[in-house]
Structure 1
Amino acid sequence: MNFKNTVYIIMGGTTGMGLAAAVALKSEGAEVLVVGRNEESCVKAAETLGEGSIALSGDATDPKTVRTAIQRGHDAFGSITGLFHVAGGSGRKWGDGPLDKISLEGWNKTMELNLTSMMLSNQAMVNYFLEHKNPGTILNMGSVLGYSPSPKYFTTHAYAAAKSAIIGFSKSIASYYAEYGIRVNVVAPSLFITPMAKRAAEDDEILSFLKTKQPLDGGRPGAAEDINTAVLMFLHPASKFITGQILAVDGGWTLSEGQYPQGN
């Protein structure tokens, strides 16, 4: 796909699926600005993306971060075509888990990381499109756990609630802003090898379960690059007739029951 003369901001774009998407966009001719949580990841991302790309460090839950990114992107490239919001994270270490054990801090932190950060980036991007009277596209990162639970191994109920809310939020704003040519969609991966998935990816029992839960391509966890085809499709200006859609990139997760070891 030809992305010449397009510009994208990727919140959470310095590692994992965000960085993989940035590399894919850049390879197809787009200009990219990525935002990550820390300086070290930003330096590495800038080296990976090469000359002309911009990597900024900042907290996605701080409204100033996305506003700064939009201003830097506009100043550097002249306009912004779209936003891919990847930023989020697990609230497990703050107390997310099964409902009977969730702490209020775990609930609030999970919502802040995954839902508040996305609202802030989407709001700022919509305001930019409206201000400049330009059409544009927003792609939000969901999760299959937002609508296809797996109760034995993946029991972070605040996280599931946040990812489910991303779907409702995205559909609602897609409907409201469609008349302005602003498209909003969601890509929903299953278990991918990312920094957040370290716990599951290093658990032999979960990996065994995964062979039947997401059975495509040998029943493996997703690689960061597996998301790219869907991301490029949604972000490309030629997808101007697609909005309010949720696409699972899940290796068959939502179609498969998954088998537990005998005796469990």
Structure 2
Amino acid sequence: MNLDNTSYVIMGGTSGLGLTAALVLKNNGAKVLAIGRNPESCKNAQDILGDDCLTLCGDATNPKTIDKAIELASESFDNITGLFHVAGGSGRRFGDGPLHKMSLEGWNKTLELNLTSMMLSNRAMVNYFLENKKPGVILNMGSVLGYSPSPKYFVTHAYAAAKSAIIGFSKSLASFYAQHDIRVNVIAPSLFATPMAKRAMEDEKIQAFLKTKQPLDGGRSGKPEDINNAVLMFLSPTSNFITGQVLAVDGGWAISDGQI
């Protein structure tokens, strides 16, 4: 796919799925600004992406981070084609879990990490497109847990609520801003081998469960590169007639029982 003369901001783009997406965009001709909150991951991402791309350290829940990113990208690349919001994560360490055990901090932190951060990046990007009278694209990271729960091994109700809300949020944006040629879509992955999934990746019972829950290609965890084609398709300007869609990249999760 030819993405020459395009540029993208990736919130959460210095590790895991975001970094893999940044690299495939770059390898197809795009310029990329990848944002991460960990200085070490930012340095590593810069080394991987090279001098023709940029990295920025900042917290996705701080509105100043996306404002700085848009300013930097617009100055460096002249134009911003789109945003891929990947940033988010588990709230287990804050107290997310089954509702009867969930703490208020767990609820608030999980929504802030996954939903508020997305609202901030999407709002800033929409304002950029509107102010510059340009078409654009936003791709948000959801999860199959937003609509296909798995109660035995994946019980984080605040996380599920946030990921479900991302779908409604994105569809609502897609509907409202279609008249401005601003497209908004969602990718919903299942369990992928990322730093966030360390608990599940090291649990033999969960790995055995995946054999039947996401049975494609031998019943394995997803690899970051498994979302590459979806990322390229949604973010490409040639997909200018696609908006308000949710695409599961889940190895069959949502259509499989999963044997415990």
Task: State the TM-score, normalized to the length of structure 2.
Answer: 1.00
Displacement of 1:157: 0.3
Distance (whole Å) between structure 1 residues aligned to residue 91 and residue 104 of structure 2 = 11
Could you tell me which residue of structure 2 aligns to residue 219 of structure 1? Answer: 219
Displacement of 1:61: 0.1
Provide the aligned length of Structure 1 versus Structure 2. Answer: 260
SS at structure 2 position matched to 1:158: helix
Distance (whole Å) between structure 2 residues aligned to residue 65 and residue 3 of structure 1 = 26
SS at structure 1 position matched to 2:90: coil
Distance (whole Å) between structure 2 residues aligned to residue 228 and residue 109 of structure 1 = 29
Within 5 Å, give how 1:44-193 maps onto structure 2: 44-193=44-193
SS at structure 2 position matched to 1:221: coil
Displacement of 1:79: 0.5
Distance (whole Å) between structure 2 residues aligned to residue 256 and residue 9 of structure 1 = 34
Could you tell me which residue of structure 2 aligns to residue 200 of structure 1? Answer: 200
Distance (whole Å) between structure 1 residues aligned to residue 104 and residue 204 of structure 2 = 31
Percent of aligned pairs with the same amino acid: 72
Distance (whole Å) between structure 2 residues aligned to residue 5 and residue 52 of structure 1 = 13
Displacement of 1:198: 0.3
Residue type matched to 2:50 in 1? G
Residue type matched to 2:208 in 1? S
Residue type matched to 1:95 in 2? G
Distance (whole Å) between structure 2 residues aligned to residue 144 and residue 154 of structure 1 = 11
Q: 1:33-72 deviations in whole A, cap 9, x for unaligned?
A: 0000111100000000012110000000000000000000
SS at structure 2 position matched to 1:3: coil
Residue type matched to 1:120 in 2? L
SS at structure 2 position matched to 1:234: helix
Structure 1: 4+ residue segments shifted above 6 A: none
Displacement of 1:146: 0.1
Residue type matched to 2:169 in 1? F
Distance (whole Å) between structure 2 residues aligned to residue 71 and residue 258 of structure 1 = 46
Tell me the C-alpha RMSD between the 2 structures.
0.3
Q: 1:121-142 deviations in whole A, cap 9, x for unaligned?
A: 0000000000000000000000
Residue type matched to 2:39 in 1? E
Distance (whole Å) between structure 1 residues aligned to residue 103 and residue 255 of structure 2 = 32
Residue type matched to 1:240 in 2? N
SS at structure 2 position matched to 1:179: helix
SS at structure 2 position matched to 1:96: coil
Q: 1:183-210 deviations in whole A, cap 9, x for unaligned?
A: 0000000000011100001100000000
Q: Which sits farther off after the overlay, 138-147 or 44-53? A: 44-53
Could you tell me which residue of structure 1 aligns to residue 252 of structure 2? Answer: 252
Distance (whole Å) between structure 1 residues aligned to residue 70 and residue 56 of structure 2 = 11
SS at structure 1 position matched to 2:137: strand
Does 2:5 match 1:5? yes
Distance (whole Å) between structure 2 residues aligned to residue 249 and residue 188 of structure 1 = 6
Residue type matched to 2:67 in 1? R
Distance (whole Å) between structure 2 residues aligned to residue 26 and residue 129 of structure 1 = 22
Residue type matched to 2:194 in 1? T
Does 2:212 match 1:237? no
Could you tell me which residue of structure 2 aligns to residue 36 of structure 1? Answer: 36
Q: 1:79-131 deviations in whole A, cap 9, x for unaligned?
A: 10000000001100010000000000000000000000000000000000000
Structure 2: tracts of 5 or more residues without a match:
none
